Chains A and B, each alone.
Chain A
Amino acid sequence: MELDMKKIQELFGKSFIQEMGDNKETFIENIEYVVSLGYKDVFELVEHYPETFLIDSITFKEKVDHLLESLGVESFEKIEENIEIWGSINEN
């Protein structure tokens, strides 16, 4: 499965794609972290909330860990049911 860059550009614009490119290493690091937690459909999270993957890796890991802890068991299934939950990572 591939990341739908066309969709991301359609929804978020050109400068966002530029930002993704400029911060590739953080992006990849964060994606790899989510994959390492066992969630294989990470690309969908990226396509819905790409800006969350730009958060610096340390903060990202903390926020993701916190989110999953608060969701408890079957946390990823809950995210699948309401993907907006993932968006809460954005909140400061």
Chain B
Amino acid sequence: MKTEWKILEVLFEYDLHFNEEKRRYLEKYGNGENIRRILDYLIDELNISKRSIEKCPSILLGRVEEIKNNYQFLQEKQIEIYNVETCLHILVVNERDLRETYQYVENNYGVAAINKNTSILRVKKERIEQIHNRFGMQLTPETQLGAAISRRTIEEIEEIIQICINNNIPITSTAFKQTPQEVKEDIRIWKTTNQKMTGSIFHKNSKDLEDLLEYCREEGIPISSSMLGCPLENLKQIVDVAKERQLDIKGLLFRKDSIELEEIIALCEENHLEVGISVLNSNPSEIKRMIQVCDQYDVEICDSMFSKSATEVEKIIQLFQRNHVDNITGSLFKRSRLEIEEAMKMCDKYGIKKEGTVFYRTAEEIEEIVKICQRYHVKIEMTMFHRTKEEVEKVLEYCQLSGLPVSGALFIRDPQDIGKIVTLLKRSGIPFTPTAMQRSITEVQDILTICKKYKVEFTPNMFSQTPKEVEKSIIVTQKNQVPLTASMFQKDSKNLEDIITLCKEKQIPILNSMFFRTKEEIEGLLLICEEYHLKPQDSMFRRRPIEFKKILDLAESYHIPLTASIFRKDPQKVEDIIRKSLERGIVPTGSVFKRTPEEIDEICDISLDLTGKLPTNNTFLKKPEEVRKILQLCISNHIPITGTIFSKNAIELADSIACIKEEYGEEYLMPSTIILDRNHIKSVLSYLTGKGCIDVLHKSASILRLSLEEIIEREFYLHNINEKMITDAHTFHPVFGWSRKLFEKRKKELEQKRVVM
């Protein structure tokens, strides 16, 4: 009685609640003082949740020293401590046995297996070994461990395996929860439901299974295999909670009991978190800790984080922040911290950016993919890490054979789809575009069909939307009588319609960049335009209202005229560019905003070094190295340096220069000639050489701005009016300087004259 009272006192003090059966068990085998010491250690020192202790009362019957030693041992190892919390009974295993089992399982199954089946640590090494030797060929490693954890004898395990084989049921660990007789009964009962046979039925003995099916029939609830792991009493409570909260009664709700479920749902609602599968795998105290961690590190909380403990998530976030990984989102928590660390080392080794999809893969997989890329001489695309190494190799092999250029988009889809999509587009006369990989082959087909149906020109941007959305968008534009443009497909049809309606109301033209913004953002921008008496321009919609305002304020404070290019970058970068430009004596406008402050510095230095002058604004069209090459080309060929030369890249300029030099002479090297395409130069200069009038180019080179066909057409016109290509003043006839409009007019007049005559 005294012992019983002491135990109850301790449990009360720690606010632990056990049902009568478990309480009696503790009272029979436990000692109040010992239990207190254990609880002090577990709750006060280790911060183990009370819920976990309530689920595992046997922990309270252990020896404190042994529990501490075992915990410390496991902490030193690579297993995740969160898993220990969910199976505390392993801490009361004999110390020597625990170490022996740990070693054996680590050597034969790996640390990941221990993390996944932590309860295995309570099983003696000999049993695991026996099962491994006897059933290694028939059972997967994970199922072997499940069988070892179960209470089945070796003979029972053998019988259960045979039953599953005879009934075509995949053999999973749950099969060993029941006796062979129960397994047979479960199969017989489940067959009456006409549902797909699943190993989950073995969560229940035959009576419980029958009771469950009866309850579901009475309540009119569709039976799902995820219910099978839930005790019927819990299930009934969960259904009540779900009905009360108007939640969809779907499988994932049956992983928790109703009290915990209520608590979890309340937490999710408070913190705007979706009640997802991973959240329900967690528990309320963990969820609270996770929310705390995410708040502390200013990271958006998401469902996938809950596959890990809050402590683990915190360590991973810290790891990411130490390694300057931006944009920490859900997908980054797929792997364990150890795997992420290894992956980061691999990224450092191969110079891969540490972001996003790379953390889908283990370090080994990353290295394999890098080596495959090296073998195929292709650049690494981050999307490659969506796929396994075999899939990456398949894609690259296909590209090599078919001549398709390798691009990141190819790795979004299943490799098998690539060839089919390429063929489909080819048959439709459409060149392959990587954006097609955003859609399945059926969707691609549907989109092409829709274009035909509505007689609209196909644009690759359509692949950003589903076929249904594409069709709706086309209907929206036709209904509103606005031309369909490629940028519209950045939005779904509803948002598109909202934007079109807004523009109509405000009587403003629909600008392409508007489709980067939400309707609310556009309204915000228009308000600012009104306030500043600005006409809405396309480039303004590249920025959010707050950024737009900041840039306007910057322009005002630095007395910079507003031009479209100023909205290229965010306000901070714009300010840095303005400051650098002013510092170097450059007017901050136009193509200057294409460059970084460092590039502006470099370009100024290069220009001063090579020409003795500051660069003109057009010089900033190109990056520093390109500027250097272009200037050196012009200087070495004695070509005057004007802004126009920076409209081409150095390779094409060099090509044109070489062509002119070799075939026509250096005297024809001028800014107006070298910016022309080499093939065009060749065709026109050859023609003019043939006509014996190439030297006239020195006086007037505007003829080069006509295509060869146009030159011949105008020459034919001159022939009809009996005039010559070259005037007496040895210049090209003015006809070669007429606008097309004027030429057509004069041609028509001539024809009319002839008709009259």
Chain A residues within 8 Å of B, Cβ to Cβ: 7, 9-16, 18-19, 22-23, 25-26, 28-29, 41, 44, 48-52, 54-59, 79-84, 87, 90-92
Q: Does B591 contact A (CB under 8 A)?
A: yes
* Contact indicator B737/A84 (Cβ below 8 Å): yes
Q: How far is the CB of A38 from chain B (nearest CB, A)?
A: 15
Which of B83-91, B119-127, B559-567, B689-697 has 4 or more CB atoms under 8 Å from chain A?
B559-567
* Contact indicator A56/B675 (Cβ below 8 Å): no
* Contact indicator B652/A15 (Cβ below 8 Å): yes
Q: Does B642 contact A (CB under 8 A)?
A: yes
* Contact indicator A11/B643 (Cβ below 8 Å): no
* Inter-chain contacts of B707 with A (CB < 8 A): 7, 10-11
* Contact indicator A13/B563 (Cβ below 8 Å): no
| A82–B737 alpha-carbon span in the complex (Å) | 5
* Inter-chain contacts of A18 with B (CB < 8 A): 649
| A12–B677 alpha-carbon span in the complex (Å) | 5
Q: How far is the CB of B350 from chain A (nearest CB, A)?
A: 30
Q: Whose C-beta in chain A lies nearest to the C-beta of B677?
A: A13
Closest 4 CB pairs of A and B: A56-B590, A25-B564, A84-B702, A13-B677
Known: A41-B739, A57-B590, A80-B741. A25 touches B567 (CB 8 A): yes
Which label, helix, strand, loop or mixed, suits the secondary structure of the B interface?
A: helix
* Inter-chain contacts of A92 with B (CB < 8 A): 616, 642-643
* Contact indicator A56/B642 (Cβ below 8 Å): no
* Contact indicator A11/B705 (Cβ below 8 Å): yes
* Contact indicator B738/A87 (Cβ below 8 Å): no
Q: How far is the CB of A3 from chain B (nearest CB, A)?
A: 13
Q: Please pick, from B647, B675, B677, B742, the residue contacting A80 in the complex, using a CB distance under 8 A.
A: B742
* Contact indicator B591/A26 (Cβ below 8 Å): yes
Known: A26-B565, A56-B563, A57-B563. A81 touches B652 (CB 8 A): no
Return 27 A-B CB contacts under 8 Å, by A number. Answer: A7-B707, A10-B680, A10-B707, A11-B676, A13-B652, A13-B676, A13-B677, A18-B649, A22-B621, A25-B537, A25-B539, A25-B564, A26-B590, A28-B564, A29-B537, A29-B563, A44-B739, A56-B592, A56-B618, A58-B590, A79-B739, A80-B739, A81-B734, A82-B737, A87-B705, A90-B672, A92-B642
* Contact indicator A48/B705 (Cβ below 8 Å): yes
* Inter-chain contacts of B679 with A (CB < 8 A): 10
| A59–B643 alpha-carbon span in the complex (Å) | 12
Q: Please pick, from B567, B587, B649, the residue contacting A58 in the complex, using a CB distance under 8 A.
A: B587
Q: How far is the CB of A64 from chain B (nearest CB, A)?
A: 14
Q: How far is the CB of A17 from chain B (nearest CB, A)?
A: 10
Size of the B side of the interface (Cβ < 8 Å), in residues, is 46
* Inter-chain contacts of A49 with B (CB < 8 A): 705
| A44–B741 alpha-carbon span in the complex (Å) | 9
Q: How far is the CB of A79 from chain B (nearest CB, A)?
A: 7
Q: How far is the CB of A55 from chain B (nearest CB, A)?
A: 6
* Inter-chain contacts of A29 with B (CB < 8 A): 537, 539, 563-564
Q: How far is the CB of B501 from chain A (nearest CB, A)?
A: 24
* Contact indicator B590/A55 (Cβ below 8 Å): yes
* Inter-chain contacts of A41 with B (CB < 8 A): 739, 741
* Inter-chain contacts of A48 with B (CB < 8 A): 702, 705
* Inter-chain contacts of A28 with B (CB < 8 A): 538, 564
* Contact indicator A83/B649 (Cβ below 8 Å): no
User: Per-position contact with A for B138-163: 1 when CB-CB < 8 Å, else 0?
Assistant: 00000000000000000000000000
* Inter-chain contacts of B741 with A (CB < 8 A): 41, 44, 80
Q: Does B311 contact A (CB under 8 A)?
A: no
Q: How far is the CB of B374 from chain A (nearest CB, A)?
A: 29
* Inter-chain contacts of B564 with A (CB < 8 A): 25-26, 28-29, 57
* Inter-chain contacts of B200 with A (CB < 8 A): none
Q: Does B115 contact A (CB under 8 A)?
A: no
* Contact indicator B705/A58 (Cβ below 8 Å): no
* Contact indicator A12/B563 (Cβ below 8 Å): no
* Inter-chain contacts of A19 with B (CB < 8 A): 621, 647-648
